[in-house]
Structure 1
Amino acid sequence: MQRTLLFMALAAVAATASAANLRDMLAGKDWAAINQPPARLMRTLDNNHNLDCRLEHYAGGSTLDCVMRQPINVLGLGVEEFYLLHNANGERMLKLVSPAGVDAVRQAAQTHFPEARLVSTGKLQWKADLGGKRELRVSQRNDLAGELAYVHWTPVAANARKAGASIDTGALEGMIRARGHAPLRVCAVNAETGPSRCVAVPVGSDHYRIAGLHAGSYFAIGYGSRSNWHPAHAHQWSNCKPTPSNDCTNGILKALRVNPGEVVHAGLNHAFTQLPAALSQAPIGT
């Protein structure tokens, strides 16, 4: 009986420590945790019953996506989701998501990181250089949630370039979920301010590859010639709460970072019948 009580007490202490460490990590106080592989972090969080996490491996790295059953307070924000991404190009990113919105997230970033000078990098996107190859990023997701990301760039081997990429450009590729019989164009739509690229996918093909992408974040979206059905790369689940003022009727699209020398996997795993207004039409002239 005493041994059982001791085990329960130790388990409670471990769970409390795990929660405390997670809060420090989400507050940008534990960069060592951000640099650990997503699979290792998932093992650390196994006993956290407030989290629903999913690990995904792909050609260019791996991602741990976690949704919280009950939001937790981080930097004065209610946080409902977070993502740890490790890319083969040396990018280590921890992104937290708050329904408080981008203005509240930006204010929290400026308050808690007074040394950070946030500079606009596009519509509703900001970035600050923290030194030591570390960055702070603020953005708005298409369901109007605010995102705060901590990014650390680490050295990679000179021969880390993947087949299908070049020294100047990267690529997106992946499988296409069940599709119709109409011709399809799959586009890498730049989520920032740079150019987008599209490729024609033959009828019957279930795979696409878009090469020649310059560094940036991209949405992978299919556009049919005679259909409003859009296969797209999206989060496996969605905390999206549709309202008349937001643009997430069908779910939350997932932008992926592509860098020179890198081939990133982006399976078109979700079917959209209504895209956000800004993405409803395929990019012109691509």
Structure 2
Amino acid sequence: MAIVTVCALGICAYFFVLSPRLTSAPQVAETAPVTPPVPAETVLLGVSAVPQAPTPAPVTPTGFEALEAELAAQIGVAFAPVGRAGESTAMGAWSSGPAWSTIKVPLSIALLRQDGERGVTANMRAAITQSDNAAAQAIWDELGAHQAAADKVGAVLAGAGEPVSVQPEVTRPGFSAFGQTQWSLESQARFLANSACTPGDQPVLALMGEISSGQAWGLGTIDGARFKGGWGPGTDGLYLVRQYGLISGPNGDVAVAIAAIPNSGGFGDGTAVLNRIADWLAEQLERLPGGRCESAG
């Protein structure tokens, strides 16, 4: 038996403690939880220390590898939550190539910014909703053509945090200069995730919700999607078919970009592949990381 004296704040108490008789060394369970001491200041304030729950890991889509193996094509997918472009994800073997008509969105935004008082022009509407090449070329010429126009379209992309070198000159006879701009899927998704929260861009983005029925494949099969497609043959004759757009899910709005080069090289097969990718995206809506634009102030 031992006497233990404990004093605190000038008051002492005495305790009789029985000393156990040890017959062997004490054993410590390797799996016994260890509770860290609570800081003294927390005790004095009478506040219980409650650990914060860890932030859950981002949920990501599933089954992409199976989808990629199923399709007779090179494919790629990228997505980013609206308002949080830096959290983008890219998947698939195909990642970058000619923009084709997808460049008509920043092209139209560039003219809207140059002549904002006019609002949406007939050429902007035709270039986006019908993918009219003559209308897009007219916009390019209004911007100054060549390097002057390339700089203005590049400024739109740079302003959204996605510096892209816009092609200023025709490199393939029969095709536009700007359509041969090299633009990755991930950069497209990030651009659109930012542009969706830029008030001045909204008149052009609204046109992406009015795409003609003949071009409503791929993302156009998802209810409420705003999108723009682009397509054309590579120097090897194989068609690249690509789209990007905005879709809504239970987690918020998502900017997505998809592309395919079918093994057959045919445009029709390319749109069929994008239809299948869009089906997969629709199945994954609950797992896609969505976002919202923050209101000013």
Bin for the TM-score computed over the shorter chain? under 0.3
Between 1 and 2, higher relative CO (CA 8 Å, sep ≥ 6) is seen in 2
* Structure (1 or 2) with the larger CA radius of gyration: 2
Larger helix proportion, structure 1 or 2?
2
Q: TM-score, normalised by structure 2?
A: 0.24
